[in-house]
Chains A and B, each alone.
Chain A
Amino acid sequence: MSIQVENIHKQFGAFTALNQVSLDFPTGELVALLGPSGCGKTTLLRVIAGLETADSGRVILEGEDASGTHVRERQVGFVFQHYALFRHMTVFENVAFGLRVKPRRERPNEAEIKKRVHRLLELVQLDWLADRFPAQLSGGQRQRIALARALAVEPRVLLLDEPFGALDAQVRKELRRWLRRLHDELHVTSIFVTHDQEEALEVADRVVLMNKGKVEQVGTPQQVYEHPATPFVYGFLGAVNLFHGRVDGEHVRVGEAVLPHDGRDAAHGVDVVGFARPHELDIVTDLGSSQGVEATVARVLAFGASVRVELDAIAGAEGQPRHYEVVLGRERLAELALTEGQRVRLVPSQLRVFPREAA
């Protein structure tokens, strides 16, 4: 089922949680709502579910305006961050709950309930836990039961609020992969909220980046990572190096140094902020050239497939960040033969610039 939200506005006192948000979630996709805490992503999820009412705007489920429909009738599956399993019921009864509370004429008989619950428990691979209580399960198991419970009522959409937020790193990774596989099997339109960029990029078909109640960018993981639309997205997704400077024709002038830039959004003489990812910076040991910003090597972290070099900015460079981070290939590091404390120049192979006010 497709979901659209139109001009959703939500205010909590003086705090604007959602500021005229409009989005389109196509059928069958797994979409991540990504942003820092307080950006409104959970509120948006709860508005879509009907657990929260927007001050204005519409929620459209499968082309029908559902803004006035009670959460009970929206047929959404909702998975809570802290699972919200019914603690006095067994796993079986938790999953069966949605079926048992149906009006009598729609309610399946006991045999049918049993069959469906066991099918769902098999789907989440926890059939053997049917008689346990939630307190006897691990975090990962509880989350899977919560998902099975949400799926029991055959929801038209699945909404997950920070589904892996309360789990430790190992389990998180495993459950991520599992959720992706499950989604590929079921193809229920799903939206999940997360503040973890890696999680969003890895699991989702599309990522919606939110900040301060507004949508910053929507796109596939690759699009948002490689072509961030705003300075916020640049800073939020992955590590990034900042350069404050002024556009000078084909170049950005940063103090004494000049850097080449991508040429977009940059009228002559405008103050800009340039962004470059760690792998988009190269280190030049030839200090004679005016190309590139000067820095000193602080640490070389030479483990793993690629090498990370941390550098300190030269003191006195006004308004500039104090540190830089560069990722190099092993061969390039061998070529450079860097030593700690050495002065070098940083030359971006790609520099995305945004006018200063926007950043």
Chain B
Amino acid sequence: MAAAGVLHGRADARRYENNAATREAPWVKWTLLGISLAFFALFLLLPLVAVFTEALRKGWVTYLTALSDDDALSAIKLTLITAAIAVPLNLVFGVSAAWCIAKFQFRGKHFLTTLIDLPFSVSPVVAGLIYVLLFGAHGWFGGWLAANDIKIIFAVPGIVLATVFVTFPFVARELIPLMEAQGREEEEAATVLGASGWQTFWRVTLPNIKWGLLYGVILCNARAFGEFGAVSVVSGHIRGQTNTMPLHVEILYNEYNFAAAFAVASLLALLALVTLGLKSFIEWKAGQQSRESE
């Protein structure tokens, strides 16, 4: 798994550096380090600092007012609702897709594996447009939906659909290599011992993949909160109704309401930091587990 790989990489790096045969010249090391750190500071750290400084430029009162604004609150609420639907759905889809691919042999398996990556390779705007073409007023199912008074595009269902599409690969991608590496032997052992399929899943399969699963869920959640492109196409930008946090930031910014825009943006940035923290914790935990089982 990726998480475990990082940890082994760290141990290896130390070994290579202590070995005269594989050690690089000091100037190579320091130049590379210098370039990376400069990039890091310029492109990652500086913007992060800027977001928080801009958000707090006019003081805490303005900051809090911007966040407790009705439209801002409704954008936060919508983002949370979207994630609360999209993440569990992708959890179930991801586990079943990974299960299919890792544990069964069937025709079209390779095609399915490639298809899972589609949301990564297609532009989010195109993803949004697909749903407009399908469910929009002039789309394939538009007439039927209108006749039955169901609103998908420019409404919450459309936003959820677009988010599910964009965040689909995270859980499956994380689990497939992990489940492939673990093989079927433990599950076979459980079956021979009399466990039903359900018992085997809960008692053997799930505990073995839990850290990978959690890792995938966190990445999926982060993307669900932050998705802009696909959601922007299907949302319609109706204030207080179909605006998620990233869309709200854009609207505020376009209205030259910089303090408020950065205040909402700072919430997203904060979420990113929490996600990173959780991610490192899980990597550490999973690494510990994989070292134990070696």
> Which residues from chain A sit less than 8 Å from chain B, CB to CB?
49, 51, 71-73, 76-78, 80, 82, 84-89, 97-98, 101-102, 133-136, 149-150, 152-153
Contact = CB atoms under 8 A, between A and B. Distances in A.
Nearest to A159: B192
A24 B203 CA distance: 36
A72 B191 contact: yes
A82 B185 contact: yes
B-side interface mostly: helix
Place the interface of chain B in its size category.
Answer: 20 to 34
A87 B188 contact: no
B196 interface: yes
A164 B191 CA distance: 22
Contact of A101 (B185, B195, B292, B293): B195
Interface of B: 185-186, 188-196, 199, 203-204, 207-208, 289, 292-294
Contacts, number: 69
Given A87-B186, A134-B293, A135-B293, A97 B192 contact: no
Contact of B292 (A51, A80, A84, A133): A133
Contacts of B186: 84-87
A97 B190 contact: yes
A53 to B, nearest CB: 14
B193 A101 contact: yes
Contact of A51 (B192, B203, B289, B294): B192
Given A82-B185, A87-B208, A101 B190 contact: yes
Contacts of A76: 192
30 contacts: A51-B188, A51-B192, A71-B191, A72-B194, A73-B194, A76-B192, A77-B192, A80-B188, A80-B189, A82-B185, A84-B185, A85-B186, A86-B186, A86-B189, A86-B190, A86-B207, A87-B186, A88-B207, A88-B289, A97-B193, A97-B195, A97-B203, A98-B193, A101-B195, A101-B199, A102-B194, A134-B293, A135-B292, A136-B292, A153-B194
Contacts of A49: 192
A80 B203 CA distance: 19
Contacts of A82: 185
A148 to B, nearest CB: 12
A101 B199 CA distance: 7
| 4 tightest Cβ-Cβ pairs between the two chains A and B | A98-B193, A84-B185, A101-B195, A84-B189
Given A86-B186, A86-B204, A87-B208, A72 B293 contact: no
A96 B277 CA distance: 37
Nearest to B185: A84
Contacts of B192: 49, 51, 71-72, 76-78, 150
Nearest to B200: A101
Identify the interface centre among B185, B186, B190: most chain A CB within 10 Å of its CB. B186
